[in-house]
Amino acid sequence: MKKLLCAAFAFLSLSIASAAEIDWAGAKWHVRTGSGQPCASGIWSQQGVWVDTKGWLHLRMTRSQSGEFTCVEIESVKRFGFGRYSFEVSGPIGSIDKNVVFGIFMYPPKDVGEDGTNEIDIEIARWGHALAPQVNYTAWYRSHKGNRHDTVEVPKDLANATFDMTWQHDQVTWESPIQHGKTIDFRGDIADQPQTLIINLWLFHSPSPEDHNEVEFVIKSMRLQ
């Protein structure tokens, strides 16, 4: 009986561990669970993350059994370095709720830099302002806290877009058809060491979307050149 209990416990532990990690785009990803910031509801759930039969990654902000909204986040197990990254995104890009943030960004492990440095972002967010531009590009300084930031306003009905981010020595560039030929880039004091890649969907300064509806984004592909 003791052996059976031990075996059952080991299987349960393995199942729980496996449930908090997914495979997508040729890489392994940790799925965040538990409590903590920046999600304004303070709840991170693995239930809103899955990969479908087409290989598309789904991130869905859902309600918990208690009725609270839960945020979702995955972080790559491996680190990514210089290269051209392309993300095909589907979701409420143009109609993003003012309290919701969808992010794709490079984030520094502790041996690379502290929070508020090195990060390189693509974010769909209005940051609490209903009329603010929806697309945000940000490059955080390597040597100290602080960042450079630019935005793009898109039509309210925009639901599909491709975002290209080229990260090279001391320069990061963003390109997308939504920019109508305009290239956005920042140079100097840019992250120069490999970082983890994080994709998340979370609540900004409010425990629920303003319209109180669940929100879903899908990344149909991630390509690295």
User: Does the structure show a pLDDT above 50 at 3?
Assistant: no
* CATH number of the domain to which 94 belongs: 2.60.120.200
Rounded CA separation 214/61 (Å): 6
Q: How many domains does the chain have?
A: 1
- Environment class of 172 (CB within 10 Å of its CB; exposed 0-12, middle 13-18, buried 19+): buried
Confidence of residue 18 (pLDDT cuts 50, 70, 90): very low
Tell me the pLDDT tens digit for each residue of 70-80.
999 999 999 99
Tell me the two tokens of residue 20: 């908090």
Give the percent of the chain with pLDDT over 90.
89
Query: 10 Å Cβ neighbour count for 162?
Result: 15
Q: Length of the chain, please?
A: 225
Confidence of residue 15 (pLDDT cuts 50, 70, 90): very low
Which DSSP category does 144 fall into?
A: S
Strands 135-140 and 147-152: antiparallel
* Segments forming the whole domain that contains residue 22: 2-224
Between CA 99 and CA 116, with CA 43 as vertex, the angle to 5 degrees is: 65
Whether the Cβ atoms of residue 124 and residue 136 lie closer than 8 Å to each other: yes
Phi and psi angles of residue 179, each rounded to the nearest 5 degrees, phi first: -90, -5
State how far Cα 180 lies from the chain centre: 24
Confidence of residue 168 (pLDDT cuts 50, 70, 90): very high
Whether the Cβ atoms of residue 158 and residue 91 lie closer than 8 Å to each other: no
Name the nearest CA neighbour of 43 among 74, 73, 71, 75: 71
Phi and psi angles of residue 157, each rounded to the nearest 5 degrees, phi first: -90, 5
pLDDT on residue 203: 98
pTM for the whole thing?
0.91
Give the C-alpha distances (Å, rounded to integers) separating 1 from 10, 14, 52: 14, 20, 39
Tell me the pLDDT tens digit for each residue of 60-71.
999 998 999 999
- Average pLDDT for 25-53: 96
